[in-house]
Amino acid sequence: MQEEEVDPLGWRLGDSVVRGEIDSRERDRITGRIWLIDRKFPVELTLRGNPMRDIAGCLLEFDNPNPMPEDNEGLSPIQMGNPGIITASHKVQLLDVALETSTDPMQPLSAVKKVGNAIWIEWFSNANGRVVLQATDFHITISDFTWRMTPEEEHLQRQRCEKAHQRWREIVASENGEFDEDFFDDDGDGDDWYMDEFEWERQFQESDAISRRYMLLMETYLNHPERDTRIAHEMGWTAAENELLEDEDIDWDEDIDWDDTLERVAALAPLPETEGIDWIRAQDGRIRHPLSQQASDVVQNLWRLSKEHEQQTKEQNADMQAVLFHAQTLHAKIAGALDALGYQEQPDGGFIVACLKRALQAFVLTIKALGSVAQQNILPAKHISSCKDDLFVIRQEVLRLMQHYRHINGT
């Protein structure tokens, strides 16, 4: 059997792996954890797709009998993206070294090639591009199947893997200045490559996961004398990023001219033709989307009610604080999605819809928190009812805007 050509590009893992697991027991979703010899917490995988038939529907566990340190600087602890070929039966050529039958001590050893199995775990992530783990000497355990992949499904998965590989190659080529313009302009209409709402949501999820890992590390190493170095190492930050983090001579307030920055922002002029639709000028002079202003008004009203009924809210402070927190989050999500529209001739509909989806999540939490406040009579029922009415008006407008921006982007 001809040995498969190994692509020299991409991130390679192997020696530093201590153990790991690849879980594909849920269709079209792969999760995994890989522990490295020099990191306390595992690298976490979340991939959209399936492995090959030999392990699809199974939990693959593996451990390295002889882990050794290697340079993993820059490897993110959170890996999200698409799978490449993932299998426990990857065919490779191995060297089978055996003694010749001759008793001559000067007789050289005979190296014979033979075909063997290796685990091959490949994925394409936003953080590190192509990552490959290949090993022939790991101890592996494969669970029973929870579902069975058909030959047709495996063929389709291979096509998806090839597409992910091709896409990664195009990204590498673009970074090297060798890209094909069609990669960024699939329709030939001059528009840049477009991310839909689902791709934006995956970006947000990755950002959330990285933030959670950072907070976990902060809690773990809070009082450690080498806290910043340990955190940077676990986060996969490069030496340059670590040096920037540890540089105590940097004064961010002095190095950034905030007055000049604010003046430049204030000097931006919103598009006059979209006034009243995509933006209004608030009482404080700021440019806001009308829905963002509505959400801000709800928050201000809740703060006012909290102050007016301070005696009651003191006794149930946690519940009222939850209402205020979720309402402020709702406003922040809406503002993040819409407040820049006044300056944009061609808004990114995918980004807007993905942000508004998260605003809906904050809406649900706000309504739930208001329900707890109502049950305990922290605020008068008429005020709670009025706030709920205002929130449902906002929800309805969020849904309308989501539909609008899906339509203008053809999704």
For the stretch 91-111, pLDDT in tens is: 766 655 554 554 555 555 555
The answer to whether the beta carbons of residues 51 and 22 sit under 8 Å apart is: yes
Helix axes 381-408 and 290-308, enclosed angle (nearest 10): 160
At CB < 8 A and 24+ separation, what contacts does 241-249 make?
Answer: none
Backbone angles phi and psi of 125, in degrees to 5:
-110, 160
For residue 126, the SS3 value is coil
- Those residues with Cβ within 8 angstroms of residue 146's Cβ, 6 or more apart along the chain or in another chain: 25, 57, 58
Pick the CATH number of 267-408 from 1.25.40.10, 1.20.1440.60, 3.30.365.10, 3.40.830.10: 1.20.1440.60
- Residues 362-387: tens digit of each pLDDT: 999 999 999 998 888 888 899 999 99
The answer to whether the beta carbons of residues 408 and 348 sit under 8 Å apart is: no
| Each residue's pLDDT expressed in tens, for the chain with a length of 411 residues | 334 444 446 889 989 999 999 999 999 999 999 999 989 999 999 999 999 999 999 999 999 999 999 888 889 999 999 999 999 988 766 655 554 554 555 555 555 566 667 899 999 998 899 999 999 889 999 999 999 999 999 999 999 999 999 988 888 877 776 655 554 444 444 445 567 888 889 889 999 999 999 999 999 999 999 998 899 999 998 766 666 655 656 565 566 665 666 566 556 789 999 999 999 998 888 899 999 999 999 999 999 998 887 765 555 578 889 999 999 999 999 999 999 999 988 899 999 999 999 999 999 999 999 999 888 888 889 999 999 999 999 999 999 999 999 987 665
Q: How far apart are CA 292 and CA 141, in angstroms?
A: 53
Q: How far apart are CA 215 and CA 212, in angstroms?
A: 5
Nearest to 83 by CA among 178, 156, 148: 156
Question: What are the domain boundaries of the chain?
Answer: 11-97+109-173, 199-250, 267-408
User: Across 284-365, where does the E strand assignment appear?
Assistant: 287-288
Q: Do strands 110-125 and 129-135 pair parallel, antiparallel, or not at all (unpaired)?
A: antiparallel
Exposure string for 116-130, b = 16+ CB within 10 A, e = fewer: eebbbbbbbbbbbbb
Q: How far apart are CA 379 and CA 387, in angstroms?
A: 11
Nearest to 86 by CA among 42, 127, 134: 134
Paired tokens of 156: 């389709």
- Distance, C-alpha 164 to centroid of its chain: 17
User: Across 282-403, where does the E strand assignment appear?
Assistant: 287-288
The answer to whether the beta carbons of residues 20 and 35 sit under 8 Å apart is: yes
Amino acid making up residue 277: I
Nearest to 363 by CA among 388, 335, 338: 388
Q: How far apart are CA 317 and CA 245, in angstroms?
A: 37
